[in-house]
């Protein structure tokens, strides 16, 4: 004969299991049902890319916070040269190409230019790329004032864009920008890619306002191949170093 207490325990266990099954199995596919010890897999500290409930501490109720004004992501300081985006003339004077016009650097610049720029500017730098033909207004590097742009000018336009050209500073790191600028100097000759060999070890044709003239080649050896996910060790100012050794040169008028 079954003891009444054992029977009541069995009935209670059966009802509890049925209740749990009913609670856990719902028609709503987004309902996880009963969660056992959720603190073991739901982070108690705030995680910026995951949120399960309204955040009562941060603004707008979200975990993700906007970075403080004036801050730079870790490891990205050399992506910024502190020259305003509309100050291309300042860039011409202050930005100096830290790399030599070696065959390796120019050939890498050609690869980067072909991959990133030629669809608009054309393989010969004449503005006749497939996108340039459709939207018009893409300049010819070997015509007018475009054929006298120095490396600093080209670097700045790559970083910030100009007129209808959008900024590419987030797509190419500082080292790659300089190498693309080098190859644009090749195309300024109006001879297309064939002019590359003429600039190897010689550098661009010297002009009175060309801040990129090579003056100390003994310290400008070839550099390693640039990668899209690798930042240059040299800031945008090239060899310029601030008095405090931070690698950032102060520009008059900027604080």
Over 159-193, what HEC string results? HHCECCECCCCCCCCHHHHHHHHHHHHHHCCCCHH
Specify whether the CB–CB gap between 99 and 225 falls below 8 A: no
Specify whether the CB–CB gap between 174 and 99 falls below 8 A: no
Three-state secondary structure call for residue 244: coil
For domain 81-212, give its CATH number from 2.60.40.10, 3.40.50.10480, 3.40.50.300, 1.10.760.10.
1.10.760.10
Length of the chain: 255
Beta bridge partners of 47: 50
User: Alpha-carbon Rg of the chain, whole angstroms?
Assistant: 30
When pLDDT is cut at 50, 70 and 90, the band that residue 41 belongs to is: confident
- For residue 40 the two structure tokens come to 């073991």
CA–CA gap between residue 25 and residue 210 (Å, rounded) = 74
Beta bridge partners of 50: 47
Residues 149-169: tens digit of each pLDDT: 999 999 999 999 988 889 998
CA–CA gap between residue 127 and residue 140 (Å, rounded) = 5
Specify whether the CB–CB gap between 236 and 96 falls below 8 A: no
Domain ranges of the chain: 81-212
Three-state secondary structure call for residue 197: helix
- E strand or H helix at 246: none
When pLDDT is cut at 50, 70 and 90, the band that residue 239 belongs to is: very low
Q: pTM for the full model?
A: 0.57
When pLDDT is cut at 50, 70 and 90, the band that residue 51 belongs to is: confident
Specify whether the CB–CB gap between 181 and 155 falls below 8 A: yes
Specify whether the CB–CB gap between 146 and 164 falls below 8 A: no
CA–CA gap between residue 177 and residue 97 (Å, rounded) = 10
DSSP secondary structure letter of residue 202: T
Residues 79-102: tens digit of each pLDDT: 777 888 889 999 999 999 999 888
DSSP secondary structure letter of residue 80: -
Q: Find the largest Cα–Cα distance for the chain.
A: 112
């Amino acid at each position: 004969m079954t003891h009444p207490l054992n029977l009541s325990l069995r009935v209670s266990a059966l009802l509890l299991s049925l209740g749990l099954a009913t609670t856990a199995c719902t028609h709503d596919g987004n309902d996880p049902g009963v969660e056992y010890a959720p603190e073991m897999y739901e982070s108690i500290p705030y995680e910026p890319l995951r949120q399960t409930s309204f955040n009562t501490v941060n603004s707008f109720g979200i975990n993700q916070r906007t970075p403080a004004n004036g801050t730079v992501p870790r490891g990205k300081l050399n992506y910024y040269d502190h020259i305003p985006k509309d100050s291309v003339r300042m860039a011409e004077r202050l930005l100096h190409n830290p790399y030599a016009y070696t065959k390796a650097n120019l050939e890498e610049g050609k690869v980067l230019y072909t991959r990133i720029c030629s669809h608009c500017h054309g393989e010969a730098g004449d503005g006749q790329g497939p996108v340039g033909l459709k939207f018009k207004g893409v300049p010819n590097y070997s015509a007018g004032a475009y054929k006298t742009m120095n490396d600093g000018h080209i670097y700045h336009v790559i970083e910030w864009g100009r007129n209808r050209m959008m900024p590419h500073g987030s797509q190419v790191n500082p080292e790659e920008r300089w190498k693309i600028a080098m190859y644009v100097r090749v195309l300024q000759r109006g001879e297309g890619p064939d002019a590359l060999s003429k600039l190897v070890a010689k550098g661009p044709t010297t002009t009175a306002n060309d801040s990129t003239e090579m003056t100390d080649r003994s310290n400008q050896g070839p550099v390693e191949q640039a990668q899209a996910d690798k930042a240059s060790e040299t800031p945008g100012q090239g060899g310029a170093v601030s008095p405090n050794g931070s690698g950032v040169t102060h520009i008059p008028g900027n604080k």
